Structure 1
Amino acid sequence: MSQQVVLIRHAKSSWRHDVADHLRPLKLRGYQAAEIMAQRHILRDAMPDIILSSPAVRAYTTASSLIAELQLESGLLVVEPSLYPGDAKALLALIKQRRESRIWLVGHNPAMHELAELLAGEAIEAFPTLAVATFEISQDSHRLIAFDYPKNTEL
């Protein structure tokens, strides 16, 4: 069985609030980045069967913003505790347990960056906020299809 997996790092969050890490909200710039990325083909060409999000406010809000911008069904969003803070190998095992064909994971660095490199089989220079990496995964291979982020000007 082949799967399309989209790794999404949460949008830019705010440090201005005196709250626990998992409660940090998005900055205005984070919402603006969600609008930008929702217009890009990397997400429009990879509509999900399920969206697994970290329970952290900044990740869940990122996922919710993308759902609203792309006019997806809110029922696609499922909170996945293992995405906070996350571990690349554990997230890969999570993906392999899922039966959906098109999965979005919305989480945090360093786990998203490490998982992207693990799946790509090579170093990825950076995985900035709201970076999106799309992979084709089969039983014995992983292939990076696309990589994009809000400040990418090479479109």
Structure 2
Amino acid sequence: MESVDGGNGSDARVSSTVMELSGDTSCIAAARRLAADFLSRAGPEQHVAVSDHALGLTQLVVSELVTNARRHAPGPALMELRLADSTVEVTVQDSVPVRPTIHAFDPERIGRHGLEIVAAVADDFYVQLEPTGKRVTAHISLNDTPAPGPRQP
């Protein structure tokens, strides 16, 4: 795992951070902690209010996207968190160039609800295919404005 703060030097204001995701599931908890630490530092440094609700949603989205990357992509993966205006942008890049799908609602299904959850709580959610894999990005409002509803990637 590697975390890199945006900017130069130790006095730089935090506006983004990147984490290399290890091959096991221990990186999921580490990614959640990094998200919480990032928002607790970046919000005040960038003069952006971060609600407790936004912090919780960000950790939830990080958990779901990192879990999917570790479960479905055998190669390297990265997570990037970036402040953009009044949102936090969560991007997870993995090595599988296949667009993930959100499954149709099924109350009997156990598991495979991660992207449904992300689409439901994010203000914006999209997938960008690349020659070396894909980037899954979700934007979460840092205030308590609710997301408009689920979308397809």
Higher strand share: 2
TM, length-normalised to structure 2: 0.32
TM, length-normalised to structure 1: 0.32
Higher helix share: 1
